[in-house]
Structures are given as C-alpha cells and as structure tokens.
Structure 1
C-alpha cells in the first residue's frame, strides 16, 4: 500500500515501520495530482499541510469529480494542523492534530455556576495523531543533574512574550527565585537590544542554533514557561532530557461562552479559565501547556499566574529534585505507530458518506 505525502515529518518513521511505501510530492497540486493519478488504486491516504489540502479540494483538476475520474477522493485528503480548530474541508475527523486538546465542553443543562460539571466532548476533537520527540531527544546525551551548572532556562525566543495579557510573572519573581534557589536565569531571545520591560534578573544568551538550543536545555536544572508560546514542544524536550518544567496557569476573569444547539438537549460551552473558587479543578485551568497541566512534581510544576511564593517554591523544588528522562506514553514512537495504523485502517469512505448524509440533512455545506 502507498502513502502520498506532501510534507516531510516524523510521521514518515511510523509509516515506514508499519510497512507503507511513501510517495513524496513537492507540494504543488499539479505534482500531487499526477502522482495520485499514476498509483491511485494503491494510495490509501494523502497527508499534507492544510493549505495544500484546501487547494486540491477546491481544484477540479486535483480532486475526484465526475469529470476527473482519476482525481483524489476528498475522503483520502488529511490535513496536518497544529491548533485546536478543524482545518479540513471535511471537518475535524480529517484534521490530524499533534495534541489531544479540545476547546469545547458539554453539559446536560445550565445549572448554577457552582454545580457545573465540565467534561470534554469527544466530537470537538480533531483526529489525534500526535508526534514523538524521542528521535530528536535521543541525539543528545543525558547530562547528570550534578554535572549541570546552576542555571534555569526561561523559554521564549520572542521578547514580546515577556509582556502582555498572557505574561505570567512580575519581573521581581526571577530575582527572588534566583536568590532562594541559587540559580541564574537565562533566556535565548532573538531581539537586541532588549527593551526595558525585559527582566533584569534574566540573562539573554541570544538566539541559538538548534543543536546549541537543545544543549542549553539539557544543561539546565529547570525550564520555566512565561505564558507563551502555548503548547510548545520544548516542554516535552525538556522532560525527555531530564529537566522539569514550570507550567504557568494563566488567570483571567472567568468568561463563559455557550452555544445552544437547536433540536439538541446539550449546550456547548467554553469553560471559564481558572476559577479562583475551585483552584484545584484542572479542567478549568488554562495553562501555557494544557497537556502537561495534568502532571505533577517532580516533572511538572503548575503555578498560578502572579503567585510569587508558588513560583519561588517551584524553582527551588525543581532545581533540587532531579528527574530522569521522561516521555509521555502517548508521545512514544510506538504509540504514534498505533494511532497511525488505526487512522489508515479506518473506512474513511464510509465516514465521508455519513458526513455527506448529515450535511444534507442539516443543509450545511450545500
């Protein structure tokens, strides 16, 4: 069986281990269409970036139509998409996601706020394929904690992330934590000279090439998030290299946005972000890394925004409590292979027929 791929990713490793032959396209839809036309009966799926999939879907010379019988069936087109939103013409099921995170929740009724039970609704998920940091991590030797300098790495390549609504630590937090833990805070920010709002107690070592960047993480005692970038793979890299991660819980005034579904007993709501009346309810936390908010010390230290004492304690505990290499089970290559196999063995033609029937019934997409 063949796979037609318009972008090179770590998924190639999983596909090869599963025994699939791969065809590569340069990304131009003409080349994509030509390759499929040559091997169309053997191709089980086309995996590409969102823009390439949309371009093919809306091109009658690329997608299967009555006038283009050798075109690519829409149900074979899968989009790689990093964010939570659906980004494929056929919706969420054909949108391949690196994270199992859904922005929407379901509740049966609208009771008082204090008694709301939030739960993620499976229909709001994209198809979770995920990825593994094991191949990249394995290229870098594990540095024993006692051989590392007394440094804490503050992660953000962009200086703009050190201010704004999602920036989580006051500048004096770093000085207090540095004194308490006996560590130096460093960062690898691109921009120079640094603006006035950049923390004085954080030393910028400048933007680093990839190999040096990983070496810096591996030699650190802890990696500190500041609110952005969200869901960055760097936190996974740190854990794999044996470095704990401080995950900020971003506090904003609770906002409840609900969508009432016509002819449905359900109401879909976006949950409030960190309810101060229920501080331990992680389903209502909005953190820099929502996948890792479910982990605990000594691997992940979840700290509420503007909590100076919590921040200082987290830095102290993380730097004096070493960990070994840790990879989430779902992010191992073996797990990616299992999910990839399940995706490719699904009857997507039947799924598409069901989707078409639903859309016709609701008159969506006509």
Structure 2
C-alpha cells in the first residue's frame, strides 16, 4: 500500500512539473508573439480594410478606429479576432514580390482565406464574414489592381463597397478559372456565388463546372455570368443567372439579375444652376477617333459642328462645343491617317475624372456622338442637371415613337426618358441635331437620378441576390427541363448537375 501511494505521488509531481514547464513555454511564446516593440509583426494585411486605421490601444495592441466604432457585440468579436490574428503576423510576408503583380490577386485571396481560418478557429467571425463571393471577371481585376474606371470598373467599385460594408468576404480570381476552382474547393460550403465570365485567359467555366464525372466542380447554380450590358443570356442554368449593370429598355419582362452601379447626388463638383453656366455643350468622347469612320459616328459629316455653332451662337451668346479627348493611336497610325477634333469644337485635352466632372458641371447639355454606348457619363450629367442628347438609328420597319423597334441608340437605358431630360435624335439628321441642342438650352433641368440607379435601389438588389435560394430555383428549372418544359430564354441553357 505504501509503495502504491509513493508511485502515485511521484506521478503527480512529474505531471505537475510538465504542466509548469508547458505553461512557462506558452507564456514565453505568447509574449514573444505579441511584442509590440519595433516592427516584430505586421497585422493590417490579415484584417478587413475597414479595420486598418489605427487609433486606440487595448492590451498593448493598437486597435483600428473602425473596430471601436462597431456595435458592442461586433466590437468584441473584432478585437478578439484582431488579437488572434496579430499572433500570426510574423509568419506571413505582408508584401511578397510577384514579379510585376500578375498574381497579386492570388496573394490577396490567400490573405482572405487566412482571415477565415482565424475567425472560424477562434469563433470570432463577424456577421457575414463566412459568406464568400468570388470575383472572376477581368474588369474587376483591372479596376482593383490597375485603377480601371470604365463602366465595369465603376460597377465593381460599388459592388465591393457594399459587400465589404456588410462584412462579406470577397476573393479575387482575375479571369482564372483554374484558380476559381481551387478557391471554391477549399471552402465550397462558404461560397455563396461566383461572378465571372464563362471564358478566361487561363481556362473556361466548361472546364471546371460540376458534372456527374467531376463532382468537385463549381456548381452551375452558384455561377453568375457578368456582363455590363443587358440582355446577354449566356448562363446554362437560366435567365436570372445573368447579371447586368444597366437595365436597358424593353416592353417585355426582364428576367436577368440587375444590380446597378450608384449615381451619387452632386457634391464634388457641386451642383450649380443652369442659368449661371455658359452656353456650353459637352461632347461625350474621350478619343479623337470617335469622330471618324470605324467608330460609326452618329454625325458622319464632321462639318455639322461648325454649322451648328454658327447658327446657335446667334441665339445663345458665347455658345460652344467642348470635348476632352486624345488621340490614343500609335505614332505610325497617327502619321498615316491624321485625325483632329472637328472644326467648331474646342478640345480640353485628356482629363482625370474630377476635371471631367468639373467641366461637365459647367455645361448645359451633353451630346452623344454614337460611342461609347451605355456609358455611366450621361447618368452623371443628369445628376448635375444636364440633359443628354441621345443619337439613335432605325431599321426599315422601325417607328420613331417606338424605341424598342429602333436598331440602336447610344444609351439604351435613357432612351425611355422624354425631354427635357433626354432628347432622342436620329443619326445624321442635322435639323433634329440643332433643334435638340436648342431645346436643351431653352429648358434647363434640375438634378435628376433614375430611381433604379440610387444607392438604396443598388443595396436592395444586392440584398435580394444574396438572400435568394438559388439552389431551389435551379432545381425547379432543372426538373421542368428534364421533362421537356423549358422556362428560360437563353440559347445556352442545358442540363446541369446540382
């Protein structure tokens, strides 16, 4: 009995010794990992961008102001996640060199996956953080990594802004379908949607879609085909799996998913009443070639600008056309075929966005010359109290009073608006051209934003998309399709695997 007691005490002492040693090692490691002296660790790249402006401190750590401003429950989770993430900082390079940045999108997404690992392992995930959206269309990459601000870039900026505000995790995948597949397969149950094109530089959707023989493929019902322009039905599932930034115009029911970009009320530059502006018409064209054959200009006779100016300056003192454009062709092309802005138009040259909007705000009308189509700029003009002159063309059977029958118009969405907000003008019709400008100058407007382009409507559409049971909708479509009943309009719809 005495021997048994001695052995038991010895084992207890030995276990206690190991416990003390383990505790000392753990404390030493923790102090080392959380030391704030010098730059022993970097944390900001592990955390959401909204958590990255440092203001206050907690337990020796600098806490971003955005965390301290969160609601109490969210704030506690955020601080805990921040503290856990800081312990990982020294193990990952915050600025790897990818040889020109071609694969920055992979590094970014790896960082987001680590954030998910931290929050799920420590039970500190914020609301929506475990809901993942993968961006896999090239214009998102151009916007995020190269500053592209065409229509698709503007749309991307508002989409990302809203998703981040709501706490969703966004992964970047360029137009790289093998990488989209790789990301999806790490966290398949967390991915709510993939927004991409069907094709890309490094592969296609068809190569990575889920099939009976490819069980780990990306389910077709989680893939939304993005196209800035409306009425491109290329999803294999159905109409609502086509996502567009502009609504266009049609008397028929539109079944695609419409998520607009946001047209902001005029703040910078501020709105100025039309009566205080010069009689200036801003021509929508950023390249000189838009005035020349090849770009299919609405006014093929470039002399129309000087003739219109000569007539209108008699009625409106100081009247002029202005444009901000450059010749984007190479030197050889410029030498072979010289191009100049038409006589009667003053070129302000290349401008950044703020300069462009300042000049636009100083105008009384915006004139389309055929290209670019469905640009956000006419929406911006209307928000500044500037009407748009929208050229259109007709088929042989078209009717002037039926916009849906027209062959083409520069702005497919705004053609539904009547004067004084929008003036639809038949291409190459000089009489209509001059009269539309005259009417726009005689009837100034207040700032106007289409109800479908407001931030409220934008957020409503995104929320509806995020909270729709897409699998159930796809299941219903598939069941009918396999019975020979087709309910969708796209030419590419076909059988798919749930």
The alignment's TM-score, normalised by the length of structure 2, stands at 0.57
Give the equivalent residue in structure 2 for 1:282: 403
Give the equivalent residue in structure 2 for 1:174: 305
Relative to structure 1, the CA distance from residue 352 to residue 52 in structure 2 (aligned partners, 3 Å threshold; closer, same or farther) is: farther
CA distance in 2, matches of 1:94, 1:52: 18
Consecutive unaligned residues in structure 1, runs of 5 or more: 103-118, 255-271
CA distance in 2, matches of 1:195, 1:298: 37
Matched residue pairs, number? 323
Relative to structure 1, the CA distance from residue 355 to residue 54 in structure 2 (aligned partners, 3 Å threshold; closer, same or farther) is: farther
Relative to structure 1, the CA distance from residue 149 to residue 161 in structure 2 (aligned partners, 3 Å threshold; closer, same or farther) is: same
Per-residue CA deviation, residues 209-254 of structure 1 (Å, 9 max, x unaligned), is 2222222212212110012211111111111122111111223x42
Give the equivalent residue in structure 2 for 1:299: 421
Among 188, 201, 211, the residue aligned to 1:40: 188
CA distance in 2, matches of 1:90, 1:48: 14
- Equivalent residue of 1:4, what SS? strand
1:186 maps onto 2:322 in alignment? yes
Among 13, 19, 24, the residue aligned to 2:161: 13
Q: Given that residues 98 and 128 in structure 1 are in contact (C-alpha distance below 8 angstroms), is that contact kept between their aligned partners in structure 2?
A: yes
Q: CA deviation at 1:332?
A: 0.3
CA distance in 2, matches of 1:190, 1:35: 41
CA distance in 2, matches of 1:64, 1:211: 45
CA distance in 2, matches of 1:141, 1:51: 42
CA distance in 1, matches of 2:286, 2:180: 35
* Structure with greater Cα Rg: 2
More helix by share: 2
CA distance in 2, matches of 1:48, 1:328: 27
Matches within 5 A, 1:91-102: 91-101=238-248
Matches within 5 A, 1:279-358: 279-285=400-406, 286-358=408-480
Among 292, 312, 320, the residue aligned to 1:163: 292
CA distance in 2, matches of 1:310, 1:73: 52
Relative to structure 1, the CA distance from residue 54 to residue 241 in structure 2 (aligned partners, 3 Å threshold; closer, same or farther) is: farther
Consecutive unaligned residues in structure 2, runs of 5 or more: 1-127, 145-155, 329-333, 487-492
- Equivalent residue of 1:250, what SS? strand
Structure with higher RCO (Cα < 8 A, 6+ apart): 1
CA RMSD of aligned residues (A): 3.2
CA distance in 2, matches of 1:66, 1:281: 47
The alignment's TM-score, normalised by the length of structure 1, stands at 0.76
Q: CA deviation at 1:99?
A: 1.8
Q: CA deviation at 1:95?
A: 1.4
